[in-house]
Structure 1
Amino acid sequence: MSDHLSPVPLDPASVHGAEELERTPRGLRPHRLPAWVRGQFPDPQLMMMERQPSGVRLVLRTTARAVALVTHPTRLAYRGADRPRGSVDLVVDGEPLGSERLDGGDVIWADLQTGATELEAGPACTTRFDGLPAGEKLVEIWLPHNESVELVELRADAPVAPAEPTGPLWVHHGSSISHGSNAASPTRIWPAVAARLGGVRLRNLGFGGSALVDPFMARTLRDAPADLISLKLGINVVNLDGMRLRTFVPAVHGFLDTIRDGHPTTPLVLASPIYSDIHEDTPGPGAVDPATLGTDHVRFVATGRPEEVRQGKLTLRVIRDALAQVVAGRDDPNLHYLDGTTLYGQADAAEHPLPDGLHPDTDTHRIIGERFAAWAFTGSGPFAAAHQG
């Protein structure tokens, strides 16, 4: 096999799972939120998360036996806390065939104690996959879920063409767990696992630290093409200590009302948080445990007090009860409640503990994805008709 790969057109139509593509001096930057959101609320945390292309992939038809993607990554790194690099995954005809770790790129160094940041520039990264099966095939190149990238160049040893989207489109919104935090690679985050098992196309609107029942997110979901919609709400509201029970419940109702303005009968799942011991009965704000800084095992802690629940502060148990009541109180036969502890509960925490107290590891992402797929896409599940169709 020749080592020489020729540049091929990087057609924007081949990029699936993004809201839009921004042309930069280096190439194309995928965005997961529309420009009007980025202009209306350019919060640095949200902007960093929406640029990380979780669930975004190049989908191609080709006879190529080798392909390469040149990207310029930008990653966030915390001083005193080791974080693994992002990866690019290869899927051929629906089967994962390879994963390559990124190198190079720019680094934004952040100090967890002071909040100060510093940019360190670096070179582009070339990710190459050889030994693809012979003949025409559907090739998916999944971009990293935890580093932003600019798409610089695509190379191959045969022509490539964008593949037309097929199958039901599942749009999912959630927190850093839905974003894929702590998973090893982009096809191993739980929404990607569930989408593969369910036979659906994924658009992932999981944003680390930013599932906060924001009205602009509801409008984004309202306006997005979708055959299936799911929401996983609660943990970020507790982490931030951003609401009290009195404001949280009507905010969720309003969030659902806005989505229903654009998707009046679309199957819609409202899921509550998975089990997390630190916030089950203790309100936020959440914080990094300073004793773990500089170690290989940074952990999070809750800084509230359990007795503050009487003042309306939120814990995960309070939120699960509230979300169940929201669904029960709405006259909506296509709205379904999923208790997050059925995906990962207290018993699971003993066998598969959350390494940092909040986020599952790769194996636990797989378990959550498999359980969601079994619940939603099989039997009488809310998404089963789309899966069977």
Structure 2
Amino acid sequence: MPDWISTPLGPELVRGTVELERTPYGLLPHRLAASGRRQNTDGQLAMAEAQPSGVRLAFRTTATAIELDVLPTKMAYVGAPPRPDGVYDLLVDGELTAQTVATGGNLLTIDFTAGTRETTPGPAATIEFCGLRPGDKDVEIWLPHNEITQLVALRTDAPVQPAPDGGRRTWLHHGSSISHGSNADSPTRTWPAVAARLAGVELVNLGYGGSAVLDPFTARTIRDLPADLISVKLGINIVNTDLMRLRALGPAGHNFLDLIRDGHPATPLLVISSIYCPIHEHTPGPGAPDFADGQVRFRATGDPAEVPAGRLTLTVIREELARITTARAADDPNLHHLDGLALYGEADHAELPLPDRLHPDTATHQRIAERFVHHAFGDGPFGVRR
């Protein structure tokens, strides 16, 4: 049994979060500012922003054994097959070295038909990483991107100190469940995490499953955070929530960008439209889950005949986002646009179809990340200007 050293958990050891809330159990990472959480009334966003996509512990140590006590909140959907446990990724000097899961914890049961959510309390768990190589090393523990996780205690067999940031630029990204990481196998294999690693930047991921809908409080959260690079990926949630019509989309988009620019007037800002998604390319929302044959899939329920009257599809929104960014470009040379079809288009879907008709698998996350780095970095808007 190692001689354990307990290290208090705090913001100096936790990266990729907006705020840390102290709870009766420990620290709960949030990816939406407290002011936004107070204004929000949507249970889906409340759940998504508390799932720590992109959040990781980062420290330097000679330890060969690590224990982390956590209180997870796992999800179950009535009528759907059980969800796998969230994965913790251990990186040593930037290399994925080990993975584990936490058992137990709370259980959040969601019934789409009844519109209810019920939480059953459960016990905290301990995850372990042992047999690490001796000597100084930079350690990162990436928390599950799809499982609310309260941080309770950290123990190691040698002292830890905050890891140096290496002077890397901070990339702040906002998007939908695809940016959040849906259907990726683990937190370091979501496309924003892969892209950040390939580009050598520090990630702050504000991808919210089901909730990239131009909320002003989300834009204010982006406004108030430090960032060297900002991207916003918009479209799919506006369609599959059937949230607005074309008349409202333009002003809402402009307002969202105006709020970001209040805090980042000259920061490179990239507006990205949705990747290819056949169910919503020409069919409006709302989207709906389909649990047929024991599989989770999604379908569009709107009527394409209503598009001329202002109902939104991905095709319509891509055109509108391009129009908005073009209209602003003369006064905002650091604002850029990227068509999401350049990241994943119809030909990609033929090769790597979306397993549930909405979200990419891990291989597709990798492809999207590589394409994004190609278009955004290097000679793109996020490239280093000399």
Task: Please tell me the TM-score bracket, short chain as reference.
Answer: over 0.9
> 1:254-279 CA distances to partner (integer Å, 9 max, x unpaired)?
11111111111111110000000000
What's the counterpart of residue 14 of structure 2? 15
**Deviation, structure 1 residue 43:** 2.2
CA contact (8 A) 1:81 1:294 kept: no
Is 1:312–2:310 an aligned residue pair?
A: yes
**Deviation, structure 1 residue 3:** 5.1
Percent of aligned positions that are identical: 60
What's the counterpart of residue 218 of structure 1? 219
**Deviation, structure 1 residue 320:** 0.8
CA contact (8 A) 1:355 1:361 kept: yes
CA contact (8 A) 2:214 2:256 kept: yes
- Aligned pairs for 1:1-389 (under 5 A) are 2=1, 5-82=4-81, 83-165=83-165, 166-289=167-290, 292-293=291-292, 295=294, 297-330=295-328, 331=330, 332-378=332-378, 380-385=379-384
CA contact (8 A) 1:11 1:162 kept: no
> 1:229-258 CA distances to partner (integer Å, 9 max, x unpaired)?
000001000001111111101211111111
CA contact (8 A) 2:52 2:145 kept: yes
Most deviating of 125-134 and 348-357 = 125-134
Aligned residue for 2:12, secondary structure, equals helix
> 1:306-336 CA distances to partner (integer Å, 9 max, x unpaired)?
1111001110111111111111111221111
Aligned residue for 1:353, secondary structure, equals coil
Give distance in 2, aligned partners of 1:16 and 1:51.
14
Give distance in 1, aligned partners of 2:299 and 2:190.
24
Opposite residue 305 of structure 2, the aligned amino acid is: E
Opposite residue 118 of structure 1, the aligned amino acid is: E
**Deviation, structure 1 residue 4:** 5.4
Opposite residue 197 of structure 2, the aligned amino acid is: R
| TM-score, reference length from structure 1 | 0.95
Aligned residue for 1:211, secondary structure, equals coil
**Deviation, structure 1 residue 12:** 2.9
> 1:74-104 CA distances to partner (integer Å, 9 max, x unpaired)?
1221122132221111111122212112211
Task: Give the number of equivalent residue pairs.
Answer: 382
**Deviation, structure 1 residue 207:** 0.4
Consecutive unaligned residues in structure 1, runs of 5 or more: none
Consecutive unaligned residues in structure 2, runs of 5 or more: none
| TM-score, reference length from structure 2 | 0.96
Most deviating of 125-134 and 301-310 = 125-134
Give distance in 2, aligned partners of 1:223 and 1:80.
40
**Deviation, structure 1 residue 216:** 1.0
CA contact (8 A) 1:281 1:317 kept: yes
Give distance in 2, aligned partners of 1:116 and 1:213.
25
> 1:146-195 CA distances to partner (integer Å, 9 max, x unpaired)?
01111111111100012243310000000111011111111111100000
> 1:116-148 CA distances to partner (integer Å, 9 max, x unpaired)?
333222221211112223211111111111011
Aligned residue for 2:98, secondary structure, equals strand
CA contact (8 A) 1:80 1:294 kept: no
Aligned residue for 1:269, secondary structure, equals strand
Q: 1:78 to 1:4 in 2, by over 3 A?
A: farther
Give distance in 2, aligned partners of 1:231 and 1:12.
25
CA contact (8 A) 2:5 2:159 kept: no
Give distance in 2, aligned partners of 1:336 and 1:164.
31
> 1:173-227 CA distances to partner (integer Å, 9 max, x unpaired)?
0011101111111111110000000100000001011100111111111111000
Opposite residue 31 of structure 1, the aligned amino acid is: H
Q: 1:156 to 1:294 in 2, by over 3 A?
A: farther
Most deviating of 235-244 and 8-17 = 8-17
CA contact (8 A) 1:88 1:101 kept: yes
Aligned residue for 2:356, secondary structure, equals coil
Aligned residue for 2:112, secondary structure, equals coil
Aligned residue for 2:322, secondary structure, equals helix
Q: Which runs of 4+ in 1 moved over 4 A?
A: none
